[in-house]
Chain A
Amino acid sequence: MALLEARGVNVVYEPTRGTRIWSVRDVDLTLEQGEFVGLVGESGCGKSTLGFALTRMLRPPARLTGGTIRFDGTDIAGLDGEQLRRARRNGFALVLQAGMNALNPVRTIEHHFGDILKAHARPGDDVSSGGIRRRGTELLEAVRLDPAVLGRFPHELSGGMRQRVAIALALSLQPQLIVFDEPTTALDVIVQQAVMDTIKDLQRQRGFTAILISHDLGVVLESTDRVLVMYAGRIVEDQPSRVMAHGLHHPYTEALLGCYDDPRAEQVHLGGIPGTPPDLSLPNTGCSYEPRCPLAEEICRQQDPPLFPLAPGRAACHVRARAAHVEEEAGRAR
């Protein structure tokens, strides 16, 4: 059974003044145990919102308006309060973008571990100060920090170290799923690599399912097994990471790939994507990428494409799907 099965997830953002915005539209998502999935997209595409929705962390004015989210068989979309807390206990955890800022500045790191372990303690768990120190040491070592960090305060640690503490805290309850929301964006560029390496290694060693949310395609392709590309609140492509750097893809994915290049090359080309993403306060007809798409056809204006098969994964593009289908037919004919 898949660990996470989400169907028809919709999130609407309703500020008290101003228009409603549909930030996540009709998302279906299946995650198997042990998968490391990347969720990639630009500002406003809804990736963070989706991550929050899946872990039931949305705060007003954002609201989950529909769909089911089956976590380990239980639909958590309808849960609230104590039931949700229990489901979280060994279910899922969230590491935030500025997760290092979620640390209480007047408490030591050890206290933070104590907080979590005591709050979710089950009978038989050792939550004495000795037990907490033991667990804390074990977790800090897992994220490659010196156990002496337990006695320190957050402001005494660097940004990278604090983010590692946040990751260790997320691991403390041995969750089955961890959602990393831009875990390295707020860090210095040289430290980012090291922290991402740690995350990758942890995922491989401990086997938890992970979702990495990022705007950086390079980071995502380096670390994950599978990539989901989001645009205007929808998932537009779903592929294994290793095939992303070549071959045909959704036009948005291709355009996004075109925005990167190797600075050491003889000739360096950098693309951009002209135009702006659609207004999410309006309902859309047709493909949301169509106004900016070089391949757009009449059908794209009229029908919003579902995720068609585009081997080895899927892509929500009429044109690509048709071409792939034609090739497949031709291949079979030969």
Chain B
Amino acid sequence: MPGNGVHPTGQPAPQNEGGPAGVPPLTVSGVSKVYHVRGRDRRTVTAVDDVSFGVAPGAAVGLVGASGSGKSTLAKMITGSERPTSGEIMFGDVSVGRLHAGGLRSLHHRVQMVFQDPYGALNPLHTVEYAVMRPCQNYLGMSAKQARERVAELLETVGLVPASQFAAKLPHQLSGGQRQRVLIARALGSDPELIVADEPVSMLDVSLRAGVLKLLAELRRTRGLSLLYITHDLLSARLVTDEILVLNQGRVVERGQTKHVLQHPTHKYTVQLLDAVANPFAADGGRPDGSTQQPAR
């Protein structure tokens, strides 16, 4: 079983002395985030409430929940866009919550993010090449020429071939699936150790999702990347992750090996999420033979 990310008791797995190639693990300990809403009705919103987990090198962990569950806030804290109100986030021996501008920049070298909205995450005026080049130049110190070569390699890795044709395109000339692949190529640009993917396929047509998910799984395998996969869709979580944490209103309500949690859910919220998965084979009680699965073809 690759990557023992999470212990059944919820404590992060014992520190590895660096997994594959000394990639540091991610450890989230007792993290909370409280927002103070200003204005007429002052109140506090607890977006994340005492969450702990870890992502070992090469592991893929899922954070699952509906909107308002706190999963996106956690992603922001892990990537340094927000500071936790309490608790600690350690990436190796770096405390993410205490970083400032320069430190955050170094962090982004190693922790990259793939965003949900493939169109919104790309500057509409920049070509694909420019977007993917910048992390190579900024983090790997490459010259423009070297960066362009690397861009061609990355575009091929994510399946956008011929690379030279895609490099010159602007975002509005690409389909949703292609844009998402560009985002992944850009995230790979800095040669990161951990990728945080925030609902990377939820805005894509279903026919395009498998390709992108397979790409993520493949990248994990070939590059030893760790993956933190954030979603509300349990089907894609099942395909990509080894273990999941189910979040509701900022708290972890269930966790464990993905397959086990999905087959034997214990919390009613998990059951709700399972029911929400679109499954044409389960409609109206399932197929004639009673199965709720895709027929073997």
Contacts and interface: CB of A to CB of B under 8 A. Distances in A.
> Would A and B touch once assembled, by the CB under 8 A criterion?
yes
A190 B292 contact: no
A42 B292 CA distance: 23
Given A43-B176, A189-B66, A218-B278, A268 B238 contact: yes
Given A215-B206, A270-B213, A272-B209, A258 B297 contact: yes
A113 B160 CA distance: 51
B49 to A, nearest CB: 19
A190 B66 contact: yes
A221 B263 contact: no
Interface residues of B, number: 44
Interface stretch (B5-13, B89-97, B125-133, B279-287): B279-287
Main SS class of interface, A: loop
Contact of A263 (B207, B208, B274, B284): B274
Contact of A256 (B206, B262, B288, B293): B206
A299 B93 CA distance: 64
B99 interface: no
A244 interface: yes
B213 A245 contact: no
A74 interface: no
Contacts of A257: 280-281, 294
A188 B280 contact: no
Interface in A132-184: none
Given A215-B205, A245-B287, A262-B293, A190 B272 contact: yes
A42 B239 CA distance: 22
A73 to B, nearest CB: 34
B294 A260 contact: yes
A131 interface: no
14 contacts: A43-B176, A188-B66, A189-B233, A193-B275, A221-B283, A245-B280, A245-B287, A246-B288, A257-B280, A257-B281, A257-B294, A262-B277, A262-B281, A263-B274
Given A256-B206, A270-B209, A270-B235, 15 more contacts: A42-B205, A188-B232, A216-B206, A218-B279, A218-B280, A221-B284, A245-B283, A258-B294, A259-B209, A260-B279, A260-B280, A261-B235, A262-B292, A265-B293, A272-B210
Interface of A: 42-43, 188-190, 192-193, 215-222, 241-242, 244-246, 254-265, 268-274, 276
